């Protein structure tokens, strides 16, 4: 609904920024950060991950989905860009998953910071026979 409000008030650039660079466009965020650090102009926003997920979901339904440019040529949607990861490493940005940080904090394996185990439930609450 907020998207519709921004669209109604003509805030197209704000909407584009919120749905791409500030949202889930990992590669775009790295490129923007690199441009800010180097003092260059911010590049055009890329394709959001949610759009890539939509394409993959449609392809999983056996639909032949192709992204076309304005002149009618097919645009190849890449899953990952090694240049972005290289640039991120050069800038000191960690794009890895959060699991290693959880291990350092002692949160991996379902334990809390105090080291307590997950709650156990009485066997009377667990149903043994499953009939379908």
What's the CA gap between 25 and 49, in Å, rounded? 6
What's the CA gap between 126 and 130, in Å, rounded? 11
Structure token pair of residue 51: 């759009």
Which residues partner with 68 through β-bridges?
74
**Structure confidence by residue, pLDDT tens digits, 121-130:** 555 555 555 5
Domain ranges of the chain: 2-105
**Structure confidence by residue, pLDDT tens digits, 28-73:** 778 888 888 899 887 777 677 778 888 889 989 998 888 888 898 8
What's the CA gap between 8 and 19, in Å, rounded? 16
pTM, two decimals, is 0.40
């Amino acid at each position: 609904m907020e998207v519709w409000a921004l669209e109604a008030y003509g805030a197209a650039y704000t909407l584009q920024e919120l749905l791409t660079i500030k949202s889930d466009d990992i590669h775009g965020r790295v490129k923007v950060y690199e441009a800010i650090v180097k003092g260059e102009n911010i590049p055009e926003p890329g394709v959001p991950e949610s759009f890539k997920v939509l394409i993959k979901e449609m392809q999983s339904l056996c639909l032949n989905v192709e992204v076309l440019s304005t002149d009618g040529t097919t645009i190849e949607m890449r899953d990952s860009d090694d240049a972005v990861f290289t640039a991120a490493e050069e800038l000191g940005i960690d794009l890895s998953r959060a699991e290693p940080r959880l291990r350092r904090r002692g949160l991996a394996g379902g334990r809390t910071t105090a080291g307590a185990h997950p709650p156990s439930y009485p066997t009377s609450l667990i149903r043994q026979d499953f009939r379908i």
